[in-house]
Each structure stands twice: as C-alpha cells, then as structure tokens.
Structure 1
C-alpha cells in the first residue's frame, strides 16, 4: 500500500533539503526521499575539512535551513540540526527508481527497497553526482584512477595527477599538495570556471612551485606498471609535445552529466541530444511534465545558495503564492533600458525568443547570463565599435538591426537583423575588430563581457557549435569574399573544419602537394624554408590571416613550411572548394594574385638576408608571437641613459613600468621587461575585481579598482607586472629649484623600498601611455631612436631592416 503526500521531494541536496524545510515550515504534507543514510550526499562526499563558499555573494539566502561559508562539517551539522528542528519528514535509504504520472494527475513513486509513495507534486533535487564524467581515454577504469577524494590526509609521499580545472579539482590539488607531489592538468589556459578564492589559491601554489601545472593539456592514456615505487604512468598531450608522468594515482574531477535515462523515463524532455544539456524548465522550475519540478544542479544551477533559493521558491510556486526571485531587483535594473519593459519574465522571454543562440540555454541559465550582461539601446547611426578597435565584448541583436561596414572605401555594408549576433571574431581571436558596426533603427542589444561569454561557450556545447559555424562563414566572407552571399559560400563552408595545433606543430611542409588553405583563427604561424641546410623563417602570420594559397593558385608543391608559433587554431579550407570559389569570383582571384606577388617579393627579400629569420625566431622565443605591441631597443644605438625609464616614471606618478636593463638580447635587438599587450592577456584571466581592461587602441591597462591580490603578477609569464605602492607626491618645479626638494625633471624618482611605513600595494604595468596623445613616453624620451614599439605584423619588415 502506498503512502500519500501532497509534495514528494527526491534528493536531499541543497535544493531538495531547502524545499523540504520550507514545506515543513508551511505545514505542507510532504516526504523527502534520500537514497543515502545521511543528508546531502554531494556535500557529504566533499573532502574532509573542505571550505565551502557561499557564492554568489550578491544574492540573499531564502531558506529555513542556514547556510554560510564554512567547513563541510559545520555546514552538514547545521543542516542536520535544522532538519530535526523543523521536523522534516525524511526517509533515508529510499532510492527512487520510477516516477510515473497517472491519468488522474497523481504521481506514483517507486523505490528500490520496494516502498511506494503517491504525491500530487514532485520536486527533483537529485543533482548530478551519480553520473560522473570519466577521463575518456584508455586506462580510465584502472584501480589507480579515481573520481572522488574523501580525505586528502590518507595520502602521503605520492605523485598524484589531478585532471580538471573546476573548484573540486583545485581544492583536491591544494589539499593534497601539503604532503604529496601534485600535478594538475588543465585542458584550457586558465581556471575560468573556478570561484575567485580557488583561482587565487591554485595560481599561488603554481607560482610558488608547490603544484606543477600543465595548461592546454589533455590525458592520452593511463597505464598500470611498476617502475620503482610508482604504480603507473600517464601520457599527456601538451603544447610542447608529448609528456609522460610516473604516478601513484590519478584523480579526475571532470564534473558530471544529468542522469538522463532516469529523468527522461519520468517524461521530462531535454532541449537537445547534447550530453551536457539540462532539462527544459520554466522560470518557476516546472518541467514539461505538469506538477514535476526540478531544482539545483539538475536544472543547471550547481551553486549551493542558488539551489537553496530555488528549493524555497518552488514550494511557494506549488502553493500558488507569488514570489519574487532573489535576482529579480538586479534584473529589473538591467532591463529598465529596454523599450516597452514591463516585467523581468516578459523581458527574458523576449530575449530568448528573439535570439536563437540563447535558445540553447534554460530560462534559469539565461537569468544568470543577463546578470553579467548589459542592455544597450543605441541611437540609429551610433558606432558600436570601430574597425581595428581592440574591444572584445559580444553582442546579441534582440530587436532592430545593425550594419557591418565590410568595405569602408566602397561603403559596402552587411545588415544583421533580430536574432543574430556579432563580435565573435575578436572574442575568439583576441585581435582587433575586423569591421566597424553601426546601430540601425530601433536597435536593442545584449552586450556580454568576454569572460562571461567564454564561460557560456565552454559550458554549453550547442552555443559553441553555433558560434563556431558562424565564425567560419564570417571569417571566409570577411577575409576573402565580402561581396559573396552566404549561399555562394555554402559549399566551402560545409567542407571547412576547425583544427588545433600546439606550439611547434607543422601545418604543412615544404615540398608537399597543396590540398588546403588555413585561415588563422587564434594564435600565429611562422613560414620558413630550408636555405643552405638551415630552416630560415621568412614571415610571421598572425590571427586573421591565411597561408597555403600559393600552392593552390599555382597547382604546385608547397614552397615553404607553416608552423604554429604558439597554441593555434585554424579554419582549414578544402583546396578544391576554394579553387571553385575563386573561379566563381573574378575579384577574389585578382586580390589573391596581388597578395601572392607581395608575399613572394617579401619572402625573396628575406631569403637574400636569412639572418632576418633568426631575429624573428628570437622574438617569437620571447613570447612576441602572442603580443600585439612590443617594446624593442637597438643596443647598437642605446647609450644607457635610462631616459626611457625616467620618462615612464614621470608619466606614471613616480613608478616606472619598464626595466630597460632586464631581458635578453640577440643581434643587438634587446627585449626589455615591458608589457607585450598579448592578444589573449594572461593577466586579464583571473582578476577578481575585473580591473584589467583593453582600450580600443589595444592597450592593456589596470584600472584604479585593483585590490592588489597579485593574480596578474603571478599569471604573467613575462614578468612585466609588479606590485608597488604609490610614491610620495613629487614637489613642484619651483620647490625643487628654490629649496632643493625632491627629484628634479628627468631625475630618478624616490625609491619606494626606502620608505619605512608599509603602504598598500597595487599591480603596476605598462599601459603604452594610453592617455598621452603623443604616444609612449619611453619611445619619445629616447635621444638616439633606439627604442621603438612594433606589432608582430611588422616583424618581417623589421628583421629585413636589420641587415
């Protein structure tokens, strides 16, 4: 015989527990079904002593169950106490196997222990932990590979590889590093998914040499063996090539996917077949099955506070009460600028209905996305950004239209309408804007910052696929055939693929038959030839440019080797499809022939003076391959007057951002310690207050809201950022002349190290004197012209000039 309740809550995680607590507080007939012998198995399985954060801090907590940042143990104790105090009707050891809705609207719930229940409403708060993602490589199920860490103190003196870049991976790595040799493998180049506190902790541990990190790396296989005291070996692919690590164990923390089979058996539908997708639910957390609600991680909201708020709110919705979501006031302020705004729900529905890209995420995910974004309502004719700007935000067109100026000379424009998006090319490549974009009539846009958009791309595969497909089309169109329509490009786009290369990887070799062309999407390439038995670099190819057209146009073999200078992505264009496009568009053929002649002449000039290639290779070895602007000093002209450093200090309040003497030199070309203004700035990736920005002209600078955490200093691989306190105000010219106070014009500023009192320190780096109309002070102050700033596009010409 089945017990009957008004509300059945499945799973006692943060969302389910909060829902049951609110139901108990409201006096609702309810039951909380939990498979384990304790509450909240996900939190229970956290490593012992783990500090649990209460993000997002801007949201208030709505729940009868307390929650504040603290240890795993303190949180579980508080939840147990709250459950007892509120007399929550929890049934432990009740794993739900079947949920079926009868014709009369009542849900039949069956458990694996044979118990059965009936309920008018069901709340699913089961989370994702039962469907852990595995490594996906040979050896993923070996005994030395585990997907959970209960107590880091159980392991001592071991070599342990942590695979993952999220909070769990970081916390495991930091805890284990106290008494073990820990290596963390991050598939990307930053810890973008982690909470700020965890970001700071892992980056500090890497900087201090406590933890070893492989960025842009991935496991290839795991083998069990006995080598000395080690139990196995892990093979990795890294930007520098293959790597092998002798290990004791691997702990993979790669997240989890929804228990799709069980959820779909309940009648719930998913918006796509993507394994990472979450069920489609309403803003009130109701699924397509009327009366069945989903809260927490299963609905796409893994943060504890968010899940607890949802648990509270879902009971109110079931009771027919009107409750304003915790983020409602924040979203109201966001949407206030939208014409015709009446309610947040209506505005969100309008955004999601009008923008196809955002149809791939749930309404709840959309709320979080909009909290990070801004609503823009520019007037008709207003420039949103200009060609060659270095901005990188992403735009979605909610209403109206925008015009992309693809050819400013002929004033040729392409119109984007409601539902389309733009800005993806600079977002992905890190390079300048490829076109000017002008607002049309009645334009309503969503502008999303780079970090938030990258987080969405990395977490929702369907969003990434759509942006990639659009990027390919627009990259081909803007670089080769701005006059062509999407229909004319359909064939070449359908045959195009995205390819990735690690630094040093070869795209094609000199002498090979040319069967494709590569358009550089991210990163950069070098073009080289064997001359006199030596590999000589002829040119440098940054993102937004292409290679491989010479062999295709001439139906000949490759005249040079193309190699990735840094980690690089390209759009590979099929040779036959490209030649067909060239045959259809005479104007394209003429442009390519002209560029062909220019490249051939430049390559010939470099072959005549092969030592120029050595200079390019030297610059690339100093990280110039990812630079957008780099300071160089001609040592044959430099007189060591240090005017460059003094001018830098004079311009920036007494603190120089340049170390002239430091840095390597080759063939009289000196690379001092000064910011390179990278295309994808390392310093910008993990800045808690979002204080590091890129100006429209490309200068990467640090704003006044820097908190001095030091993340940027640790992240910069070139040592161009340092922490400094503000020096005392320099006396005026008359005080110096009459009283001899302070350093005079051109004299060294006071040394902050000599100050006895401790002062607040903030990050300091070169900003290329972005607010000075006459340009960088270091270059202007050089009396011999030894100091210059150049972009990588000028490397070949610069190298040729050094003959």
Structure 2
C-alpha cells in the first residue's frame, strides 16, 4: 500500500479522493461505521458554510455550503463514484516505522503496511472539559446531536466559537420553549465567523436567546429542595449572577490527541496541551513520510482541510511545484520586501525571527498574515506618536526602532531590536500610545490588527504566554526602567503575577499589612479611604499606573482601599523584592517617595476635612461613585456631563450638535440620569475598548487622532454597533441632504434653520416606500471642527463639559 490515510473527515476524505482519482494505491481508515464522523456528529439540520469565500476549492470531493445532511449524502456518493478504498470500524491504535515502511496497528489486531501515512484524525475526540465544582453532572454535555430533543429547559451554552453559537441557535427554536443563555469569556466573538455572529445578535434582538460576554462559570449548585433544580453561578463583569440550569452544553474547543501522535515520533511546537505538530509547508512532520492535515494541523475550516487533503497527495506523488491557493495573496503582501524569498521562506523567517510567534504553525501564520499589513520605514520615519490611539501591534522583521521615553527630550531613546514587538500595551489597556516610536534604521514591520492578535492569543497558548511576559516587562520598564537595571526588572517580572478582577473587587484593603505593588494592566481602579464609617473617594487610577507603594513608607500598613472600577487586570509585584530594590537604589527611592508625598497630601486633606466638611466629603464620594459605577463612565475616555445648577434648559447644546450634523443631534440632553447637581445625558463616551467596534462588517468605525470614535461613509446600516453599545448612544437614522449655507438661509430663506432638519426630507422618511436608507450616527466630538465640540461651545452658562475619567473627582470637588 502506498498511502494509508487515518480519518475520513473533510481532510482525510479529500486526500483519499485525490489518491483514487490519481490511481494511487491507498486505504482510508475510519473508526466509525460511516464517513466523516466529525460532520456526522454535527447537530441535525446544521447549515455548514464554505468559507473563506475567496478561496478556491481543490478537491475531487464536492463541497458547497448546505445542510449537514446534504453534505454527508454528497460525500457518500462521491466516495462511491471515485471508488475510494475505505475501511469502516477500523480504529488505529499505533503507528510505527518510517518512510517506505510504516506499520499501522488496528484495534482488532490487524497490521497494515504503507509507504506513507496521512494523519487526518482531527481533534473533536479530545474536547476540553469543564473543571468547575458540580460539572460532573450527567446534564453537562460537550456535543449537541439533535437540538430538537430538548423542550422547556433552561439551557446554558458555554463558548465563543462557531460550534457554541450554532448550538445556542439550534436549541433556541421558539417552538421548543427553551430559555437559552450563551456564556462567552472574552468581549465579543473574535474566533467565530461573521455570519454566525450576526445571526446570534439577530436572535438576541428577537428575544430567542440571550448571551453574556466577559462571563465564565464558577460552579453548579443545588437550587433548592427539588432534586432536579440546579443553579449555575456565573462570574460576570457586573458581579455574580445565578441562572437556573437544566442543561449545560460546553463547546470549549479541543486539543490534539497528543499522546497518540507523539508515540509515532512526531514533535510538537510547544509543551502546551493545545499545541500543534511541527510541520513543513508540505504538511510533513518530523517523521519523514508521515503527514498531518486538517484540524490536527491547526486549521479547522472545511475548505482549508479539503485543499490540504488534495495537496498532500500531490506532494507525496512528487508534485513539488504545487503552491497553496492563498499564495498569490501572500506574494502581494511581500511585494517591495528588501530580500527575495518565497512565501514559505517568508513565513518561516517571520516565525523564527519574531519571538512571540515561535509556537505558531505555518498554517496559522498564513491565516493571520492575510489580515495584516507590511510597512517599510526609512530611518527617522515615525511609526506611532505619543498619545495616538490604536490597538494593533507591530513586529520588527528587519531593522530596529527607537522609543522616545522622555517627552521633553526626543533624543533620549530606548531601542527595540529585530524580532521584538511593540504596541502591545495599547492592545491590552485600550489607552493611547505611551511613546513616540521611530525607525532607528531602515525597517520592515508587520502590523497585526487587534482582532487577528486576539484570535492568535486565544488559539496559541505560547503566544499569550509570551505576550503576557513581554507586556509585564514593558509596564515595569515604563514606570521604573530609567531607575532600574534590566536584571532588576527581570527579577521583578519573574515573580510577578497577573490577577483578573471584576468590577468592585478590592485588591488592596485599608488596614491590612502588605507591601505588594500593583500595576493597573487594563481597566481602571478607584482609591477609597474609610472616614467616619464611610468610604470616601480619593482618586481614580488609569491603566499604566501603579498603586500600593505607600505601605512601604508606613511600615507595611495599607492606608486606603483600592478596587477595580470596571473589569480589570492588575500585575502584582512582590513587595519584598521591591522593598529591597528601594533600599539599594537611592534614585528609585526618591522617585517613589515623591509620588507618596503627593498621595499623602490628599490623605491629609481628607483627614483634615473629616469633621468640618463631612457632608461635602460625602457628596464628593457619592458623585464620583455615580459617575464611575452607576453610569459606567469608568470605561469612557471622553464623556459629556452637565452641571444642573448652571443649565437653563435652552437646548443650545442639542441644536448646535444638530446644526453640525445635518439636522440630526447626536445627544439627548433630557435623557440620562442625574445625581445631585450632575447630569449625564445620552451621548457617546468614546470607550477605551469601544463596544460598537466589536462587529462592524464594513470596518466603518474608527478612532480619530484625538481619541474620538467615529463612523465613516462605509457604514451599511446593519445596526450591529447599535446592538453592541450598552449605553444607547447610537441611533439608526436616514442622513438628510446637505443644507444650504447660513447666508442663503438668512437672506433667501433657503433650507431649514440652524439645528433643524429639512421638513420635506422628514416627510419623506415617514413613507414606507422610497424612504432613504438608515445609517448609524453617533457623537464624533465634532472632529475637525476648530474650537472643539459644538455642544460645549454653544452652552451659554458653561454647564456642559466634556471630561475624561481622571477629571471626575475635580467635578465633584467643584461645589466643595
């Protein structure tokens, strides 16, 4: 036998089809009594997509988008027509030997000899499982066969990929009466197909199901005296939630059957359970003659799998000229490169050069590179500026860059050399760029967009591990780098720990004895002090800053409580190491002492005002909490607030906004909540990580140079941004025609007045037929308008202010 193919999923079946079409002796070994067990186990009626659309199919087996049942039938017919030599109920237990002399052992004791082996076993037989308390119950399952089996149940689906979304949609049929909730750990669904995500949001809008992002299961527990009553305790960004639970469907992905594959001599890219085998561009493993394709190679899309099955047989047959179908797209990406290399050579060069990509497989490299951009920079070219917005990361393929660490003296720089990345702090924190970076010499840079980076971190544990390590080094270095040698930074990071927090979690408690230092990695924190039995708001700490240092000067005693304002991550630096470094480094001691002095001054002020201004202190604290916690402005970068003691209700703010924006106001002054004298109208907050950007099909939502989040002309009116925004500040509206100039209106009466839409246009929008299309509109902070936002400039009393979170306390103090 020339080729033995193990597994008859899309990849294995396609390989067998190519071998049969070429007349190559082969056998297709399948442990199930039918072909394509993975597809066979999909839920009944599942619609299977043929993505990526632009990728041509190379296979002797037909594949078009359609139902699970139609595809299985088509593949059975094709296998019969091609006369594929398939053996059902043939489970492979071991593979030994080498090229030209492989022995494949079957569970029934038979041995098959082959010159080449193609492993296409997939990963679905090795699913990741829940390990939370209570999840050993029989109603916790990791596969959904037929969604029509379940009626009138509280069903929780866990996962954020295509399988989880499709399962949730499957059991959310209104006729079945199920109450369905999907739990997703991250913010959004970066690993799922766009069409699935849009269908999920539509189902939620129709009331068929619900989903909670940034949520994870804590435990299952009995819900009462009833034997079958269970409760799922869920960790969400707003605290714990308790959901009735009759069934859990967990779709947490799967890991390669590593023990079986390693026993054949195959090496993997890293030690992680989810790591993939080391492969050549032709899918050959470290064992000559043994090939791995399909999901086991790290690429689960059906069309990719089928192309790999076709191509691997061509490679075995000696077709060395065959190139993957995405090669022309990647060749275009590398046009203008300083060196001439093939696509495969570039992929390997980038993977081996850039440290964080060491564990990425060639197939995964191809995927994220298609979403990335190559930049070629001359010496001195600016790559990013301090305070710019942006969340992509850059990898240095050739050359080096210089980071301007001193805003007052651009000549003070720190180099970042070839093979490193930069920009990761903006990706993690959502804040503006912290430094200006220039090319120190001619450089070739790979810019990887946010979503592609997040998907890579979610798919390859080694990428996340290296990114976490690097980001901690950079944050410690950014704060203390000029005062500490690299060896000290390494010592701190080696002992550092990343701690996730949900809103309200305290990571420093007033009165405890502890000297650990905490860097706010992402999110933000509030500092409070207990005065007269009440928690008094002291300050707001943004990502990129640190807290906890005061205990080093107060004999280890914590002088205030610090808690997460929103879902956040902090880096804990062990106090004993930091204390020793302080004693050894006078410059570091003085720098930290200066910060402590400023914070001590605020503490002393609050203590001094405790008696005479207790009511004012209470008011300050209550207003700050109203803004940060109740209104959610802790994730804003720019928010509109109104001082109601100054507001006269003239609505000039709304009129000015409408006049600037074709008659459609982007704010509603009367809407929104108030506390004391502060009112928060309905207007965009320009969040750190804008929810509206999560799933914009035409990529029409961007951040401007001043941090404003705006929607450009590519908007198609899908409404995804409106659904994603939790604050109701985006509206779908028909955009009016351009208004005549002010002089034409004033002297000739043409068009509507300032702040008014055209009356004929309004009448047209009311008609069902021939109504203009609706597009998404929101505040853009009057980008490009001299003088700043029109709403603030038009306020005659100064009641309207646009502020960032660090200014909230000063607003509260304004009436003190």
TM-score bracket for this pair, using the shorter chain length: over 0.9
Mapped pair 1:637 → 2:633: no
Per-residue CA deviation, residues 48-107 of structure 1 (Å, 9 max, x unaligned), is 1111111112211111212222111111122112112222111111111111115x7311
- What pairs up with 1:117-196 in 2 under 5 angstroms? 117-178=112-173, 179=176, 180-196=178-194
Per-residue CA deviation, residues 630-654 of structure 1 (Å, 9 max, x unaligned), is 1111122222222222222222233
Aligned partner of 2:332 in structure 1 is: 333
Q: CA deviation at 1:802?
A: 2.8
- Cα RMSD, aligned residues only: 1.9
Aligned partner of 1:75 in structure 2 is: 71
* Structure 2: distance between partners of 1:624 and 1:369: 34
Is the contact between residue 231 and residue 249 of structure 1 (CA under 8 Å) also seen in structure 2?
A: no
* Structure 1: distance between partners of 2:330 and 2:763: 47
Q: CA deviation at 1:526?
A: 0.9
Moved more, 775-784 or 223-232: 223-232
Q: State the secondary structure of the residue aligned to 1:132.
A: coil
Aligned partner of 1:6 in structure 2 is: 2
* Structure 1: distance between partners of 2:224 and 2:547: 47
Q: CA deviation at 1:754?
A: 5.3
Q: CA deviation at 1:212?
A: 3.0
Moved more, 292-301 or 215-224: 215-224
Mapped pair 1:32 → 2:28: yes
Alignment CA distance shift 1:589-1:328 (3 Å): same
Is the contact between residue 100 and residue 116 of structure 2 (CA under 8 Å) also seen in structure 1?
A: no
- What pairs up with 1:392-541 in 2 under 5 angstroms? 392-410=391-409, 411-541=411-541
Per-residue CA deviation, residues 388-436 of structure 1 (Å, 9 max, x unaligned), is 1111110111111101111132432110111111111111000111111
Mapped pair 1:364 → 2:363: yes
Aligned partner of 2:57 in structure 1 is: 61
Is the contact between residue 605 and residue 800 of structure 1 (CA under 8 Å) also seen in structure 2?
A: no
Q: CA deviation at 1:483?
A: 4.2
* Structure 1: distance between partners of 2:311 and 2:360: 21
* Structure 2: distance between partners of 1:748 and 1:667: 34
Aligned partner of 2:612 in structure 1 is: none
Moved more, 149-158 or 511-520: 511-520
Segments of 5+ residues of structure 2 without an aligned counterpart are 610-615
* Structure 1: distance between partners of 2:485 and 2:53: 48
Alignment CA distance shift 1:735-1:435 (3 Å): closer
- From 696, 707, 724, the equivalent of 1:687 is 696
* Structure 1: distance between partners of 2:376 and 2:123: 39
- From 710, 723, 726, the equivalent of 2:719 is 710
Segments of 5+ residues of structure 1 without an aligned counterpart are none
* Structure 1: distance between partners of 2:762 and 2:444: 50
Is the contact between residue 673 and residue 720 of structure 1 (CA under 8 Å) also seen in structure 2?
A: yes
Is the contact between residue 473 and residue 486 of structure 1 (CA under 8 Å) also seen in structure 2?
A: no
Aligned partner of 2:613 in structure 1 is: none
- From 743, 753, 767, the equivalent of 2:752 is 743
User: TM-score, normalization: structure 1?
Assistant: 0.96
Aligned partner of 1:669 in structure 2 is: 678
Alignment CA distance shift 1:291-1:714 (3 Å): same
Alignment CA distance shift 1:670-1:274 (3 Å): same
* Structure 1: distance between partners of 2:358 and 2:660: 49
Q: State the secondary structure of the residue aligned to 2:645.
A: coil
Is the contact between residue 539 and residue 603 of structure 1 (CA under 8 Å) also seen in structure 2?
A: no
Q: CA deviation at 1:235?
A: 2.7
Q: State the secondary structure of the residue aligned to 1:625.
A: helix
* Structure 1: distance between partners of 2:691 and 2:594: 37
Is the contact between residue 677 and residue 700 of structure 1 (CA under 8 Å) also seen in structure 2?
A: yes
* Structure 1: distance between partners of 2:217 and 2:763: 46
Is the contact between residue 390 and residue 433 of structure 2 (CA under 8 Å) also seen in structure 1?
A: yes
* Structure 2: distance between partners of 1:597 and 1:225: 52
Q: CA deviation at 1:729?
A: 3.0
Q: CA deviation at 1:614?
A: 1.4
Q: CA deviation at 1:359?
A: 1.4
Q: How many residues align?
A: 798
Aligned partner of 2:344 in structure 1 is: 345
Is the contact between residue 230 and residue 246 of structure 1 (CA under 8 Å) also seen in structure 2?
A: no
Is the contact between residue 457 and residue 464 of structure 1 (CA under 8 Å) also seen in structure 2?
A: yes
Aligned partner of 2:37 in structure 1 is: 41
Is the contact between residue 515 and residue 549 of structure 2 (CA under 8 Å) also seen in structure 1?
A: no
Moved more, 408-417 or 165-174: 408-417
Q: CA deviation at 1:231?
A: 4.4
Mapped pair 1:786 → 2:792: no
- What pairs up with 1:515-664 in 2 under 5 angstroms? 515-605=515-605, 608=609, 609-610=616-617, 611-620=619-628, 621-664=630-673
Q: CA deviation at 1:545?
A: 1.3
Structure 1 runs (4+) greater than 6 angstroms displaced: none
